[in-house]
Structure 1
Amino acid sequence: MDTRRLILLLVFSFSMVMLWDGWQKHTHPAQPATAASGTAPASNGVPTPTAATTVSAPGVPGVPQIASPAAAAPRMKVRTDVLVADVSAEGGDIVRLELTRHKATGDAEHDYVLFDDGEKHLYAAQSGLIGNGLPTHKTRFALPAQERVLKDGEDAVSVRLEAPATADGIRVSKLITFHRGSYVAEVSYEIANGSGAPIAPHAYFQFMRDGKPAEQAGGFGVQTFTGPAFYTDAEKYQKVNFQDVTDKKAKFVTKAPDGWVAMVQHYFVAGWAPAAGEREFFANALGGDLFAAGVIVPVAAIAPGQSGTVSVPLYAGPQEQSRLDQFAKGFDLVVDYGWLTIIAAPLFWVLEWFHKLTGNWGWAIILVTIALKALFFPLSAASYKSMAKMKTLGPRLQRMKEQFGDDKMKLNQAMMDLYKREKVNPLGGCLPILIQIPVFIALYWVLLGVVEMRGAPWLGWIQDLSVKDPYYILPLIMGATSLVQQRLNPAPPDPIQAKVMMMMPILFTFMFLWFPAGLVLYWVVNNCLSIAQQWQINRMIEAGGKAAE
């Protein structure tokens, strides 16, 4: 088997193994972690501002119905132009959040629900104060109304919830402010110290979520990450698996002067980002497949008769990179492209630029493909010339095989002498494929991970570039163009190798049936451009050979 074919087969085999592994993870995802039954709750049921590694998160371990009290408590709705939030009287938690500009996975009739009170998940944004008698996320607040709506001409809508006064006269109000066209809300506490002594409380802001992964779009894809993530300037981006939290093996920054905590899932994210100042991060298993991850911040000391405030912004929405950049430093890292971020990030920037020109992500993918082809044109041209020359040497290589029979050593030596005389590099044809593999994988992660591609139509029957072609038209075109391209390449001298190489387009077509339509579109356009380029080079080489003869 010649070296060029061996390399191609190795690349193909590696791709098959990688994609099969992704398929296994997609169709048989790991079971959600369950907390150990021996976990002990904090004495007061809320986090304690000690070392973050020993923080006991709120909740009663081992009780799956931990969110049911909030579900039974009175609620009010807050409506803006981009979301509908359900705020519970218990703790003033945001127990349900509906994103009105994004449709549910596989259901275009309903909006996407991020925070969920049990329809598919248990997931809420919770907060409270730490101090003797101060309100926590278990405290029953007084709701100001049944509903608040952002009216025309208003830029923000606020909800003020009042907690019962403590025994020593401390009064606390919780204020949640939503903004027009924004997925950021400010969650604040106003503390009036009516006691006779100064107080220095802490505030905690956390996400409570079950361990089930977020719903995936239909098609062939890997199971994307769902779980807590932390960021600081010193330690950068750190993801934490639910299983590691359960096993108490989670490794993440615990104390820092900056940074944020997030709950990440496919296409969407929620995060708390306190202003600069000391903070503690925590992640804990609550039991019953429920987890808490959050941050604790100190509140400046409040003298008797004085008031103090603490406020932390909450982002809860899609992973739109323009919004993430504005929310907090490093928050755009929640869009995880894997180990090819160095290629995927610039690819998305170019894609986004073309999208601004065309207004359509499908045409943007086509233009990116053309741009990549133009960028690598000199390299590809040299490789195609090498393959075209190899094709003209096919008859002579066949005669050598017949001449030397089973003497592999003499055959290989004769072939190398021929390549040297004709100035042909037998490995030259591998280069375009080797270059395309990382670009292909990077673009795969872009199309899989960016929410901008979710539900984005191209034309006709392609109404969502992030899922498979519903009628498999693009994969079949891709298979046909791959077959044409294969026939333009020089055939291997070994008949078995030739059959294996001719099977590759069929195998690729089968795999691409479940790939995102945007990725298949890229491959179809790339194949068509490669066919045109290779056909022209073959004509030039053949014409030159006839003239020489």
Structure 2
Amino acid sequence: MDTKRLIIFIVLSFGILFGWQTWMEKNNPQPKLASAVATASGVSTASGVAAAPVPAGTLAKGQVITVETDLLRAEINTVGGDIRYLELLKIGATDDPKKPFVLLQDRGQHTYVAQSGLKGDGLPDHTAVFTAAQTSYKLAEGQDAVDVKLEYTGQNGVKTTKVLTFKRGSYLVNVSQQVTNSTDKPLAATGYYRLIRDGKVENPGMFGTHTYTGPAVYTEAGKFQKNDFSAIAKGEEKYVKTSKDGWVAMVQHYFVSAWLLNPIGQQSVCAPNDCRFELGKIANSDNLFYAGTLVDLPQIAPGASQSKAMSLYLGPQETKILDATAVGLDLAKDYGMFAIFSKPLFWLLDKIHAVVGNWGWAIVIVTLLIKAAFYPLSNASYRSMAKMRKLTPRMEALKERFGDDKMKFQQAVMEMYKTEKVNPLGGCLPILIQIPVFIAFYWMLIAAVEMRQAPWAFWITDLSVKDPYYILPVIYAVSMYVQQLLSPPPPDPMQAKMMKMMPVVFSVFFLFFPSGLVLYWVVNNLVSIAQQWWITHRIEQEDKKAAA
């Protein structure tokens, strides 16, 4: 492979990386955005959950109940007992790290709420008005959990109690619905739990790339199944409809909310029957979607009570937390099409971070380990490049000898390579191997909430965003230029000019890359320069000894 083909390969690699998502967006457009307002007017017929008539585009408002723990600050509305607002107190907002990140909201930029209700004669759905003993709850010192108790009594005397339990040190909210049958007939009841979100999608990536935003369903049978808003709007969603295990979620960049059928360490809420998953579009709305599950309660005899409790995860996509919460929940962390490389890289990075305590230094160490792992291959490649560099004067002589006869020139060059036992492909191998690692690092850093607002040192205060002063991209450009000086120059003048432009071209890309990714590549280049210089120096010493 000559230099010209190498350049083409690199350009095509970046084209594949940055062009794929652009093509997907163009061929699978998101539904037209409407104003971010919620609705309580019901859902499409697939849901089977009827609601009282409320004007489309509004969300009925009742009394607001506030809850605060060490990790969460929530607002619950007495209409339906919805969680309509949620702040993550330990996680900074995107535009101001000093403020808490807002996940759920019924006002502002998004509509994103968690609803629950019951189907059955005289039972409260998400439009029913509950009563509460108090309007404010706060987890006290030494207290492990706080319960928010809501009550509703239907016209037939059936009493329903909904309890939302918030625990210390946890992003899980337990939602229990208990029905007491005060009638003289058996009562059938079905609980439903859903997440409602508008279809607005942010784009955290560059050049058309972005992580997934939208509904997702996981079951042991169907595994992880994404259905974006555009597919749901067209009625083309595909997922496992019934299951005794799994979860249903709304996924966005860095965060996820999910109703869990069987959290780690707990029995499934679906026994003895299967639960039913449902995705759809809210009726009478232009841009509101739901993802939820339906759970049947055992038949309730007269005078008896039955209850079901569902777990709701509302938090960041931290791998350790997701792994400890539910099977498969870590799949909500979108590594894109390069997950096969990104996951092992993050595993290694996480292990090193546990020792050094800094994600930036963990990236440096992972880079050094990768370079050490590929040292035998790099050694062979750089030796090949050093030998080719020695052949440069002879190559120039051949060029003058054959002039414009490129065919004879190429034949003579290949004969020279054969005689001198030089492999022209050898110098390309380090770059070829680094490309999938580079792309995997890119997706890992985009997906990893652990990198969000994580400082390294000096001026780098957030490894997930670009270098604010563009210092790392400049260092990268210089290091790439030095690498070119150590490499054999291309025989073709046009190729030589293109190679001189490569540091500038790539540095323009790197101006917008996450600083953690640029840090990886800078360290990689510096180590490569040291390796290449050392190997070239050894070959020169070997030649001197051979000549002596």
Q: TM-score, normalised by structure 2?
A: 0.92
Give the structure 2 partner of residue 114 of structure 1.
103
How far residue 301 of structure 1 moved from its aligned partner, in angstroms, is 1.1
Q: Using the alignment, how far apart are the partners of 2:217 and 2:381 within structure 1?
A: 45
- Relative to structure 1, the CA distance from residue 64 to residue 399 in structure 2 (aligned partners, 3 Å threshold; closer, same or farther) is farther
2:185 is equivalent to residue 197 of structure 1: yes
Select 1:264's aligned residue among 241, 251, 262: 251
Q: Using the alignment, how far apart are the partners of 1:82 and 1:133 within structure 2?
A: 36
Residue identity matched to 1:95: R
Q: Using the alignment, how far apart are the partners of 1:498 and 1:530 within structure 2?
A: 21
Gaps of 5+ in 1: 49-53
5 Å-filtered alignment, 1:520-531, equals 520-531=518-529
Q: Using the alignment, how far apart are the partners of 1:476 and 1:55 within structure 2?
A: 55
2:85 is equivalent to residue 96 of structure 1: yes
5 Å-filtered alignment, 1:473-488, equals 473-488=471-486
Select 2:222's aligned residue among 212, 219, 235: 235
Select 1:66's aligned residue among 58, 62, 71: 58
5 Å-filtered alignment, 1:318-357, equals 318-357=316-355
Question: Alignment partner of 2:201: what SS?
Answer: coil
How far residue 55 of structure 1 moved from its aligned partner, in angstroms, is 2.9
Q: Which of 356-365 and 535-544 deviates more?
A: 535-544
Give the structure 2 partner of residue 284 of structure 1.
280
How far residue 259 of structure 1 moved from its aligned partner, in angstroms, is 1.5
2:240 is equivalent to residue 253 of structure 1: yes
Q: Using the alignment, how far apart are the partners of 2:64 and 2:54 within structure 1?
A: 26
How far residue 328 of structure 1 moved from its aligned partner, in angstroms, is 1.1
Select 2:514's aligned residue among 492, 513, 516: 516
- Relative to structure 1, the CA distance from residue 456 to residue 496 in structure 2 (aligned partners, 3 Å threshold; closer, same or farther) is same
How far residue 45 of structure 1 moved from its aligned partner, in angstroms, is 3.8
% identity of equivalent residues: 48
Residues 162 and 173 in structure 1, CA contact (< 8 A), matched pair in contact too? yes
2:297 is equivalent to residue 302 of structure 1: no
Question: Alignment partner of 2:97: what SS?
Answer: strand
Q: Using the alignment, how far apart are the partners of 1:35 and 1:393 within structure 2?
A: 62
How far residue 305 of structure 1 moved from its aligned partner, in angstroms, is 0.7
Please list the CA deviations of residues 107-143 of structure 1 after superposition, one character each: whole Å capped at 9, or x if unmatched: 1232100001121100000010111221011111112
How far residue 290 of structure 1 moved from its aligned partner, in angstroms, is 0.6
Please list the CA deviations of residues 145-170 of structure 1 after superposition, one character each: whole Å capped at 9, or x if unmatched: 1110000001100101001x223221
Q: Which of 491-500 and 274-283 deviates more?
A: 274-283
Aligned length: 532
- RMSD in angstroms over aligned alpha carbons? 2.5
Q: Using the alignment, how far apart are the partners of 1:331 and 1:248 within structure 2?
A: 25
- Relative to structure 1, the CA distance from residue 450 to residue 258 in structure 2 (aligned partners, 3 Å threshold; closer, same or farther) is same
Give the structure 1 partner of residue 382 of structure 2.
384
Q: TM-score, normalised by structure 1?
A: 0.92
Give the structure 1 partner of residue 265 of structure 2.
none
5 Å-filtered alignment, 1:366-515, equals 366-515=364-513
How far residue 372 of structure 1 moved from its aligned partner, in angstroms, is 0.5
Give the structure 2 partner of residue 177 of structure 1.
165
5 Å-filtered alignment, 1:204-243, equals 204-214=192-202, 216=204, 222-243=209-230
Residue identity matched to 2:458: G
Residue identity matched to 1:223: H
- Relative to structure 1, the CA distance from residue 45 to residue 197 in structure 2 (aligned partners, 3 Å threshold; closer, same or farther) is farther
Select 1:140's aligned residue among 129, 133, 152: 129
Please list the CA deviations of residues 411-435 of structure 1 after superposition, one character each: whole Å capped at 9, or x if unmatched: 2222122111111110111111111
Give the structure 1 partner of residue 75 of structure 2.
86
Residue identity matched to 2:276: E
Q: Using the alignment, how far apart are the partners of 1:481 and 1:170 within structure 2?
A: 74
- Relative to structure 1, the CA distance from residue 341 to residue 460 in structure 2 (aligned partners, 3 Å threshold; closer, same or farther) is same
Q: Using the alignment, how far apart are the partners of 1:483 and 1:148 within structure 2?
A: 61
Question: Alignment partner of 1:108: what SS?
Answer: coil
